[in-house]
Amino acid sequence: MGKRKKNTYGITVLCLLALLRTAIFGIGGWAVLGAAPKANINQVLVNGLASLAYSIDVSQFRLSQDEFNDVYADMSYSSPQLFYVVREWKMSYSSDGIVRTVYPKYTDSGDKAIITAKKAALELAVDVAMSQMPINGTDAEKVLAAHDYIVANTSYDLPTLNVMDLEDGKYSAYDALVGRSAVCEGYSLAFGLLMDRLGIEWKMILSEGMGHSWNLAKVDGNWFHLDLTWDDPVISLTSQDPDYWGSVSHEYLLLSDSELVSRSHGEELHYGWDSGGIVCDTSIPQRFWSGVNGRMAYKDGYWYYLKRANSGSAQIVRASYHAAHEMVVASFTSSSPRLAQCGQLLIYNTNNEVYAIKHDGSEKTLLGTVAGMASNERVYDLAVIDGNAVARTRASSDLTKAAKTVAFPIPGAEEALKALVYIVSNKIVTGVEAGTTVEQFLSGFENSARIIANHGPGSLVATGTVVQAASDTGAECVVVIYGDCHESYLGTGDGLVDQADFIAMAAFAISKGGSGPLYEAAKPACCVFGAIWEAGCACIWHAVM
């Protein structure tokens, strides 16, 4: 097993890399960056893993065990969409040592319904992240936005250091973007996933000596280092709640080789990496983000971030990437200010209150006040989670654990359903405009059959609806499921509507014959999972029965 140590503001943190190997039919491992001996094998592996294949024939490439290990590991570290593939595999090979067949291992026991549902959840999470990216910005702006989004919305997962299990630990882009908790590998792969969407070339760097990973990104033709994990300040190894939500450092953003090795927290430095021959020898003369300690949010060509006026007050300022002039959007009193973004609103906190304000500084709204706070207690953490501004308080006498957590609904976060378009055979059926009820939706189809799922005390709605539409090729349908039903596909609810419900709904639809998602159901700009429909969460699935 590999570990790395890091000091953030004088505090030591560990980061684990998955180094587990298996010796059944062969050896599985991981490798540093490098060109695959047979480049075409990457696509064969990706295609097989995407279809959850039990075995993949690779005999045509005539690779030795060591060659195949390098190719497989390199492919997995450059394919963040394959989050459900455990980096542990078996092989069969011929008498001359040539690998014939690889037998992958998947999470969730290879359950296609659950894994496909999780794919949909990840796609929704990526869509939410992309809504806050500068699509038409510079390369540096795209990297900055992805860096800050991931760091602000992901907590470093200390328990993984104790689990040290490739399947149960939090190493993937899914863990970072959907579960909002990961170790360095998850941060790095989540960044790669957003870079793929933004059209920026990237690499994941591994240091076996450090037991750590970080990224390279190609900006305006030059390669730079960035370490999202080391830019996410934590409190201590023994903290019950180690991560300050909304706290973002920019110390390790877009550095040259020499800059990277000259920067340390405590005793730890970056060392022992293999970049596959890539040299980072360019410095950025004017770092727009230098000195900003907190989330930098992007909206319509401008960046919004916090500046401290003095120890007890703060400002939200606005500036463009190309201009040094800063305009003050809001001024307020806070000992530990944090900034978040939700659609058309900026979210920030005072010592005991949470506010929303438009990006131009208008329509300031008090979302809520944290009641019952002790005299030495104040809001230290702020995040946007499932359409709520979630504040955590800490007592100055013990910052290692949160005293209380309070969620305040954000106006407009629970948008009505957006227009849906379904492809049924060769014709397009347009359904569900904003505000459409279930009954109105059903009335648009001639034949329908309703199924009711179980739900327990305290749950919201757990109803499944199968809507059938006539077609020339057979019975096709749209499956509509909504509500609180997260356990065992559509089992007992827990009174909450969250990511687990979305996954359960999608998995249920797939288990009934669903072919995959055409889900454009309400995706609020800051709500990661599913849609708000009447009292619950909606999952819209296209299925062939």
Who wins on pLDDT, 464 or 230? 230
Who wins on pLDDT, 400 or 199? 199
Q: What is the 3-state secondary structure (H, E, C) of 479-524?
A: EEEEECCCCCCCCCCCCCCCHHHHHHHHHHHHHCCEEECCCCCCCC
pLDDT digits (tens, 9 = 90+) for 125-139: 787 788 889 999 999
Mean residue pLDDT of the chain comes to 73
Mean pLDDT of 180-202: 95
- pLDDT of 318 reads 95
On the question of pLDDT at 317 being above 80, the answer is yes
Q: Environment class of residue 152 by beta-carbon count within 10 Å: exposed (0-12), middle (13-18) or buried (19+)?
A: buried
On the question of pLDDT at 445 being above 90, the answer is no
Mean pLDDT of 317-339: 90
Strands (E), 282-398: 297-299, 302-310, 313-319, 327-333, 339-342, 345-349, 353-358, 365-369, 377-385, 388-395
On the question of pLDDT at 39 being above 70, the answer is no
Gap between the Cα atoms of 232 and 251, Å rounded:
10
- Model confidence at 44, pLDDT cuts 50, 70, 90, reads very high
Who wins on pLDDT, 231 or 448? 231
Both tokens assigned to 178:
């959907």
Mean pLDDT of 534-539: 32
Residue 544 to residues 474, 483, 541: CA-CA distances in angstroms? 8, 23, 10
- Model confidence at 200, pLDDT cuts 50, 70, 90, reads very high
- Model confidence at 161, pLDDT cuts 50, 70, 90, reads low
